[in-house]
Amino acid sequence: MSRRTKKPLAKRGPGGDRPKGGPNGGGRPAKAGSAKPGAFKAGPVRGNRGEDGRPLSARPVRKRAERPAAGRPAADRLGTERFAGRSGAASRPRPEAIAPEPEKAKPDAPLPTKVETVVVTADENGMRVDRFLEARFPGLSFSHIQRIVRKGELRVNGKRADSKDRLEEGQSVRIPPLKLDTPKAPGHLSEAEQKTLQTLKEMTLFEDADVLVLNKPAGLAVQGGSGTTRHIDQMLEVMRDAKGQKPRLVHRIDKETAGCLLVAKTRFAATALTGSFRHRSARKIYWALVAGVPKPKQGRISTYLAKDESEEDSIMRVAKHGDDGASHAVTYYAVVETSGQKLAWVSLKPVTGRTHQLRAHMAHIGHAIVGDPKYFNIENWQLPGGLQNRLHLLARRIVIPHPRGGVIDVSAPLPPHMLQSWNLLGLEHDRFDPIEHAPEE
């Protein structure tokens, strides 16, 4: 569901109050029911009316530049917004408020037919390896990029690199011969490709010329891997344009997690949206069903996470600062409703974006997500009758500045197995929608 009205920005409380820490977060834990300004809490739906009772449609539409936030960069102003409503929406300014900005794409570099070594420029400083290849050689498929990186064919200063590694100005990058996927002429899709395109259309929550937001079903992978033959990145091949440009994934969510997945349809949009994630002006809200009831009912989880690899599987563990491969991870949580003391519906806001962050964090505080095959290890815990033993985690909502102005605000519905659980437990998914507001630090 989407709507195109801009939402008013809420002011901070006196002194810019922010919620205190919870488990592992340092400081005093936030108390349940706290009404401090800026608190991350759950609240009832306000429908289509603002706090003053007036319909939102009656409010003037202002450009974001007219709402200065003292002492904060423009990219961070979204953090002061207060979102409430029965369901999310794709909010865009009216057409006359948008100043179209033509895409300024540099000429495409020819694909190397033999091994080449290139030097990272100042403009490319800080870029991830996969984004570097996408920018240099538009049209390369994600699977092709991952394959050459995984095989060690691409090297940085003579060493193997990971696709997520960030490059530095002056580094030498060895690039193997590359192969560009042949673009398909519009209207010449096979029957199977037409079915794939129709499936993507049925998943679509929001779409315009630059951005696509999909409602990814649980069980469908976002990208390829060993034994994975069907995934979102492969499906997007059917959406290549006449120039051979394919929509690009902006972020990822786990295979068993359902919900909002952001895709850029143009290079201009990919750069802008990736920058919003990097500067943390994007907001992602997740819903989960967890074992027990977290105490306090709202708080902050702050740990270091590192990956433990094995031949059969990989899992994220809580690590110490300075451990090899350890990255800082921060999550805010708030209990929305409970089913006795057995289960709780929680709203989660990841500040960082580590692999399996929410799953590992909830297990770390003793309230693992129901149906999690990797992190649910509570002894003698029985799944209530009627609930499916599947991961109960939904990428419920994404709020991010639109590349050409305004705000994209999209929500995904509960997937079938979670909707069944909510109904059996008497949780009112259509009554509550948490107020998502938590600081970055």
Catalytic residues: 254
Strands 258-264 and 393-401: parallel
Amino acid making up residue 329 = A
- Round to whole Å and give the CA distance between 438 and 42: 12
Rounded distance between C-alpha atoms, residue 104 and residue 246, angstroms: 17
Distance of CA 206 to the CA centre of its chain: 15
How many of the other CB atoms lie within 10 Å of CB of 318?
17
Which pair of tokens denotes residue 424?
A: 């059996």
Question: HEC string of the chain?
Answer: CCCCCCCCCCCCCHHHCCCCCCCCCCCCCCCCCCCCCCCCECCECCCCECCCCCEHHHCCCCCHHHCCCCCCCHHHHHHHCCECCCCCCCCCCCHHHCCCCCCCCCCCCCCCCCCEEEECCHHHCCCEHHHHHHHHCCCCCHHHHHHHHHCCCCEECCEECCCCCECCCCCEEEECCCCCCCCCCCCCCCHHHHHHHHHHHHHEEEECCCEEEEEECCCCECCCCCCCCCEHHHHHHHHCCCCCCCCEECCCCCCCCEEEEEEECCHHHHHHHHHHHHCCCCEEEEEEEEECCCCCCEEEEEEEEEEEECCCCEEEEEECCCCCCCEEEEEEEEEEEEECCCEEEEEEEECCCCCCHHHHHHHHCCCCECCCCCCCCCCCCCCCCCCCCCCCEEEEEEEEECCCCCEEEEECCCCHHHHHHHHHHCCCCCCECCEECCCCC
Q: Are 178 and 274 in contact (CB under 8 A)?
A: no
Q: Which residues face 185 on adjacent strands?
A: none
Determine the Cα–Cα distance for residues 28 and 139; give it in Å rounded to an integer. 50
Alpha carbon distances (Å) from 109 to 106, 138, 322: 9, 8, 39
